[in-house]
Structure formats: structure tokens, C-alpha cells
């Protein structure tokens, strides 16, 4: 039976309903709250399971329009670029640079483990990237973006679906291992839990970056700031479309291929820092935050509506094996490398918990991990300053270039 095509208008309507159902699920189900599962992921997976049941019982399937999905993905990555102010590097100091280096080395290890295990299990090595930093360090947004690239440029069928499943797995595991790793390190130091509570999570949040950690925070936006912000997004999208045009791509070396979302992100960074640095423009960060978070939610909602669970059954066991090994590697690396290179003190233990969070899941998972530790053992201002900046901004650039190198190398072998 041919799939039933859903046009952009109804795709958007259904995606917003998925988000509302997801919000209701997260509000009511404690498991989803404890593991910080995003609302679009909760609602989207429920929708994917309903579609799977329909397919299994009646043979029906649906093809939701992906034009809007791609547009929301580009807006989301543009928002990361437009929020990346290089002046924040000064606030993080040398600790931020060292942590970024530690995390960057782990991305190389994560991809090497994924590619090696995929090859050993008889899968396409590129699938190893999907169960590597594409989904684990990158999260759902990067999974959807790279899934599209792998499907269209490298002909890896179901890469997006596999990526969404792996990213969801990573979110749960990242939330599970961060706290225990940090507590083991803290116990080794002989520290005891503080008594009477400290409110450390509140204190820590003063140092956390608001862009992705507090998506529900009320932000005052005027019509003018909204229009001007949309103009910035339009510039990023137009530049990215220009850079992937066949005539422009022909000007670059054959092996030099950057996905469109990377161009959108890079131009966002340039636009942000040129406007604020050279022209002293006051950027509307609150509007950028709102558009970015809303676009990410809608992108995930549409991507998960297109999740065809029946296509994943053949890959289920190999994928679980690779992800289980990745989880062990993450815990060991955070325990020995992250902790040691970040100073071997209490702040380093909290940073190790944060690394587990976004090394397998996402930045909000990292913050949740750190809060679970600081609520018991006291505040860590250093960790709450460094992790959101590295996890939400700078690591995306490193991950994008490492992945591009891996994909181009594997794609030509």
C-alpha cells in the first residue's frame, strides 16, 4: 500500500498536536521528568508507536511533508550560531578551553568506537557515526540533520529513524550514569552530603546560559524585535542555500562538503560577532532563544512523525550492542579523563557528571545531572558556567567538522 501523503499545512497542525500531547505526558509521567525527556520526543515517540500499530494491523503508512522539517532544522542551527558570542570565552577562562579539548578528544573516540563496532557487526561503517557523536554528543537535532545528509548523499536508508532512536536511548542513559559517576568520585574524596539543603541548583542557574537551559522562561519580545530577528534567520538560511547550490559547490575541492545546516550555523556565528563586535548592534537574544527553541520542537515533532519503527527492527540488536558499549566508554572516560584533566577536585566531579549528560544525551541532561549532585554536595559555579557554553554552543562546531571529516573519509572508501 502506498503511503498517505500529508501536505505541509496538515503536517504543521499534527506536529503542534504532537508537541501539546508531549507536554501533557511530561507533566504527568514522572519517569519522563526524571530523565529530562524533551516534550517533542515524548509526544513524537507516542505518535510513531501509533503509526507503527496502524502499519502492522492495516498496512497503512504516512509520508509527512519534510519541507517544513528542513526549514525548522536550519532555523534551529542558525539560532545556535546567532547565540554564540565569542566574548563568552573570556568568562570561561582556561577551564572552558581545557574542557572543550577534553570533550573534543572524546568525540574522536566515540566515533572510532561506533565505526569500529559497526564494521565488526557487518554494518555500513557510516552507521557507526549514527551511533557515535551524531546522536550521542549531537542529540536529536544533529541526528535529524545528519540523517538527511546520510540518506541523500551516502544512501544510508533509515539513517534519520535510526538517529532518533539512538538519540533517545542516549538521553535516558546520559541521565542514568552521570550522577553515579560523580558520586563515586566525590566519595573517593571523602566528601559528605551537606545537611539541610543548599539551594545550590538555584545558585548554579545564575551561571547557566539561558539559551537552552530555561526554554520555558518568560521572555518579553516586541513585534519589531521579532521581525528583525526573523531577518537574521532569513540571512542565515539564504547564505546556507547559496553555499550548497551546485554551481557554488563546484568551486570547492571534491572532498570538501559541508551540510547546509553547518553553513547556516557558521554564518550565524559570523553575523552575530560582526554585528556585535564591529557595529555594536544590540542582539535580541530573547527572540533568538524563542525562535530557536520553538523551531527545534517543531523540527523534532515532524521528524518523529516520519519515524518508521518497522524499518529499525533489523538493526535493533546491533544498535543496542554499540550503544551499550558507548555508554561504558563514556562512563570510563568521564571517571578517569574528564575528572583528572579538569583538576581532580569537586568541580571536576560535577563537570564529569555534566559530560556524561551531553556526551550521551543533551545539554539539559547535563544540567540536570549537575543539579542532582550539587543539591547534595554543594554548589559548583565553575561547572555551571562551563558546561552550558561548551554543550550548547562550541561543541556543535567541533562535532560538525569532525563528523564531516569522518563522513567524507568513509564515504570515499
Distances in Å between the Cα of 73 and the Cα atoms of 89, 144, 216, 286 are 26, 8, 20, 19
Specify which of 216-220, 340-344, 409-413 reaches the highest per-range mean pLDDT.
Answer: 340-344
Q: Cβ(214)–Cβ(289) under 8 Å?
A: no
**Please, are residues 218 and 287 in contact by the beta-carbon 8 Å criterion?**
no
Q: DSSP per residue over 344-364, as a string?
A: SSHHHHHHHHHHHHHHHT-HH
pLDDT single digits (tens) 190-231: 988 876 544 443 433 343 344 433 445 666 889 999 999 999
Cβ-contact 65, 201 below 8 angstroms: no
Q: How confident is the model at residue 400 (pLDDT cuts 50, 70, 90)?
A: confident
What is the sign of the dihedral through the CA atoms of 208, 212, 217 and 220?
Answer: positive
What are phi and psi for residue 279, nearest 5 degrees? -110, 0
Q: What digits encode the pLDDT tens for the residues 352-377?
A: 999 999 899 877 788 888 888 888 88
Q: What is the pLDDT of residue 165?
A: 87
- Alpha-carbon distance of 290 to 16, in angstroms, equals 16
Q: Give the predicted TM-score (pTM) of the model.
A: 0.75
Tens digits of residue pLDDT in 59-108: 999 999 989 988 999 998 898 889 877 776 676 689 999 999 999 999 99
Amino acid at each position: 500500500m502506498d503511503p498517505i501523503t500529508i501536505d505541509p499545512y496538515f503536517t504543521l497542525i499534527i506536529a503542534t498536536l504532537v508537541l501539546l500531547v508531549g507536554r501533557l505526558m511530561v507533566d504527568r509521567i514522572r519517569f519522563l521528568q526524571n530523565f529530562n525527556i524533551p516534550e517533542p520526543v515524548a509526544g513524537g515517540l507516542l505518535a510513531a508507536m501509533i503509526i507503527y500499530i496502524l502499519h502492522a494491523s492495516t498496512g497503512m503508512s504516512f509520508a509527512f511533508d519534510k519541507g517544513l522539517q528542513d526549514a525548522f532544522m536550519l532555523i534551529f542551527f542558525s539560532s545556535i550560531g546567532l547565540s554564540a558570542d565569542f566574548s563568552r570565552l573570556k568568562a570561561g577562562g582556561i577551564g572552558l578551553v581545557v574542557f572543550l579539548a577534553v570533550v573534543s578528544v572524546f568525540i574522536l573516540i566515540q566515533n572510532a568506537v561506533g565505526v569500529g563496532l559497526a564494521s565488526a557487526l557487518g554494518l555500513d561503517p557510516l552507521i557507526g557515526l549514527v551511533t557515535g557523536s551524531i546522536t550521542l554528543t549531537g542529540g536529536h537535532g544533529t541526528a535529524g540533520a545528519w540523517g538527511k545528509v546520510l540518506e541523500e548523499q551516502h544512501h544510508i536508508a533509515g539513517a534519520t529513524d535510526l538517529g532518533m532512536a539512538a538519540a533517545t536511548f542516549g538521553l535516558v542513559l546520559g541521565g542514568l550514569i552521570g550522577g553515579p559517576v560523580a558520586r563515586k568520585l566525590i566519595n573517593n574524596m571523602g566528601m559528605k552530603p551537606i545537611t539541610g539543603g543548599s539551594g545550590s541548583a538555584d545558585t548554579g542557574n545564575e551561571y547557566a546560559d539561558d539559551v537552552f537551559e530555561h526554554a520555558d522562561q518568560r521572555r518579553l519580545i516586541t513585534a519589531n524585535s521579532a521581525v528583525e530577528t526573523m531577518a537574521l534567520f532569513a540571512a542565515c538560511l539564504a547564505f546556507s542555500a547559496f553555499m550548497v547550490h551546485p554551481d557554488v559547490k563546484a568551486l570547492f575541492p571534491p572532498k570538501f562538503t559541508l551540510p547546509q545546516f553547518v553553513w547556516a550555523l557558521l554564518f550565524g556565528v559570523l553575523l552575530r560577532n560582526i554585528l556585535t563586535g564591529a557595529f555594536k548592534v544590540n542582539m535580541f537574544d530573547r527572540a533568538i532563544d524563542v525562535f530557536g527553541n520553538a523551531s527545534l520542537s517543531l523540527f523534532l515533532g515532524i521528524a518523529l512523525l516520519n519515524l518508521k519503527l518497522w524499518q529499525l527492527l533489523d538493526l535493533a540488536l546491533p544498535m543496542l550492542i554499540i550503544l551499550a558499549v558507548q555508554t561504558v566508554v563514556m562512563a570510563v572516560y568521564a571517571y578517569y579523563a574528564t575528572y583528572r584533566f579538569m583538576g581532580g577536585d569537586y568541580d571536576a566531579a560535577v563537570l564529569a557528571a555534566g559530560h556524561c549528560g551531553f556526551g550521551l544525551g543533551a545539554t539539559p541532561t547535563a544540567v540536570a545531572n549537575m543539579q542532582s549532585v550539587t543539591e547534595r554536595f554543594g554548589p559548583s559555579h565553575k561547572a555551571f558556567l562551563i558546561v552550558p557554553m561548551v554543550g550548547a554552543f562550541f561543541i556543535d562546531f567541533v562535532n560538525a567538522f569532525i563528523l564531516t571529516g569522518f563522513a567524507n573519509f568513509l564515504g570515499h572508501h
